[in-house]
Amino acid sequence: MKRNIKKTLATVLIMVLAIGLSGCAQTPADKTPDKLPEVKISASQGAGSYPLAPLVEKNALQNVADKTTLESWVTSEQLTAMITSNQVHFIMGPVTNAIMLYNKGADVKLANVAVWGMMYILSADDSVTTLADLKGQEIAVTGGSNGYHGTLIRHILIQNGIDPDKDLTILNMDMAESSSKLATGDIKLALSNEPNSSVAIANAAKGNVTVKRAIDLQVEWGKATGSPARIPQAGIIIVGENAKNTALVNEVLKQFNASAEWINENPAAAGPVVEKYFPKMKANAVENSLPFARLEPVSSPQCKDELNAFLTEYLKTAPPASIGGKMPDDNFYYSGN
């Protein structure tokens, strides 16, 4: 009888200990987030994507993921689909696209601004060196007057007393076509991004046509608005629930910053690495573009006020619909909390 009681007490004690240990093991404070099997980042063909190439090459996110893969997006429709269907964890893309999607209900947050303006008016006409010289001219702009580039240059022109509807003609032409036509002499002026500007200049030189960065749009923005001579152009966008994984987001930002620093300090070495992962961005163009790319990552909390100031100024002439109808609220900015 005593032996049975002892066995029963021993069994109960073991069960109590097991339950206690199990409870300790399930305490959230003691849990370490599991590494993801894969982090997917989608990027467009632009300077903001440069740091992603060495980041993948070095497997820099190995502390939070087994591997990192890059996917490309070209059209805004592709960008939207990737976000709404949670196909990727992060996207490198235009800040205005992120705001537009956020205002339309997409679950996105801005993690940083990586590129602070890389827009230049390219000219095959030596007489064009100032905004005033654009009067009476035709200029190729992606999206024409109604696209982001078009609304931006219109704002700058208006602030300089130039009527973009009467004093010049804005042609709707993508950068690949404008680059080709600059090289053949079919057009004399085009608004372009990096590395497209570097490609256009190099291609034109092959045909003995001299094309120059005649006007720095960032400098003109600063003059026209009294703002810093830079434009918040592209950054890292966090997709969906990934914003709650602070360990993941913070590691991505940390490694992206380190990668951007290496890119800026080693342009010749960076070119081939970028081309390996983004074949359309050739090594020479990447190297040549870096002095003009303004690749300077700034975290979302640090640049929120500057971005809001930019948008307030931009909306003085741009239609609200160009960013989804309104200014983004504070929830758009990743805080790291």
pLDDT in tens, 226-285: 999 999 999 999 999 999 999 999 999 999 999 999 999 999 999 999 999 999 999 999
Residue ranges covered by each domain of the chain: 39-116+230-325, 120-225
> Is residue 294 left, alpha or beta, with left meaning phi > 0 and alpha meaning psi from -120 to 50?
left
CA nearest 303: which of 111, 48, 45?
111
For 90-114, what is the mean pLDDT?
96
CATH no., domain 39-116+230-325: 3.40.190.10
pLDDT band at 337 (very low <50, low <70, confident <90, very high): low
Give the range among 72-81, 149-158, 190-199 with minimum mean pLDDT: 72-81
For 159-181, what is the mean pLDDT?
95
pLDDT recorded at residue 173: 95
CA dist., res. 211 & res. 214, Å (int)? 9
CA nearest 217: which of 201, 200, 193?
193
User: What predicted TM-score, i.e. pTM, was given to this entire model?
Assistant: 0.88
CA dist., res. 314 & res. 318, Å (int)? 6
pLDDT recorded at residue 103: 96
pLDDT band at 141 (very low <50, low <70, confident <90, very high): very high
Beta-strand runs (E) in 178-305:
189-192, 212-216, 234-239, 295-299
The first and second tokens of residue 75, run together, are 């059209």
For 48-67, what is the mean pLDDT?
97
pLDDT recorded at residue 18: 41
User: Over 60: is that where the pLDDT of 13 sits?
Assistant: no
Give the range among 14-23, 35-44, 48-57 with minimum mean pLDDT: 14-23
Task: Give me the percent of the chain exceeding a pLDDT of 90.
Answer: 86
User: Over 60: is that where the pLDDT of 8 sits?
Assistant: no
Homologous superfamily of the 120-225 domain (CATH)? Periplasmic binding protein-like II (3.40.190.10)
Buried b (16+ CB within 10 A) or exposed e, 169-184: ebbebebebbbebbbe
Let me know if the fold of 39-116+230-325 is the same as that of 120-225: yes
Distance from the first to the final alpha carbon of the chain: 60
* Beta carbons within 8 Å of 6's beta carbon, 6+ residues apart: none
Average pLDDT score, the chain: 90
pLDDT recorded at residue 6: 45
CA atoms within 13 Å, Cβ hemisphere of 335: 5
DSSP category for residue 46? S
The first and second tokens of residue 29, run together, are 């404070």
